[in-house]
Amino acid sequence: GESVGLHLPTLSVQEGDNSIINCAYSNSASDYFIWYKQESGKGPQFIIDIRSNMDKRQGQRVTVLLNKTVKHLSLQIAATQPGDSAVYFCAEDSSGGYQKVTFGTGTKLQVIP
């Protein structure tokens, strides 16, 4: 899961296995959620988003699950590849524009070849 500490939590996964990265969000009024991937030395890259009227959304090899009851978001990556190694973080939007968006600090995914 995500942390506000200085050291990012790390998830180590064997190549080919599935990865699950978790995010606990804070604002029950948030109605739009986004997952970003950030590789070393690069800017965050949009992966997938979900609106609060859904509880699951699938993309290519990625699935986002939303549990509004416990304010929990997860990103599942199928058949994890070395290129998936990066920091992943979620963002929550309470429809107040980007001045109201909160970004998590991230989870580092390490793929073991």
Partner 1 sequence: DAGITQSPRHKVTETGTPVTLRCHQTENHRYMYWYRQDPGHGLRLIHYSYGVKDTDKGEVSDGYSVSRSKTEDFLLTLESATSSQTSVYFCAISEQDLSSPLHFGNGTRLTVT
Residue numbers at the binding site for partner 1 (CB under 8 A): 4-6, 31-32, 34, 41-46, 49, 51, 89, 91, 93, 95, 97-99, 101-106
Exposure string (b/e) for 22-59, b if CB count within 10 Å is 16 or more?
bbebeeeebeebbbbbeeeeeebeebbbbebeeeeeee
- Cα–Cα distance between 47 and 63 in angstroms, integer? 10
Nearer to partner 1, 34 or 109 (CB): 34
Strand-pairing partners, residue 107, are 88
Nearer to partner 1, 69 or 99 (CB): 99
Q: Give the nearest distance from C-beta 113 to partner 1 in angstroms.
A: 26
Nearer to partner 1, 13 or 62 (CB): 62
Q: Give the nearest distance from C-beta 16 to partner 1 in angstroms.
A: 28
Residue with tokens 């990556």: 77
Nearer to partner 1, 13 or 109 (CB): 109
Strand-pairing partners, residue 88, are 37, 107
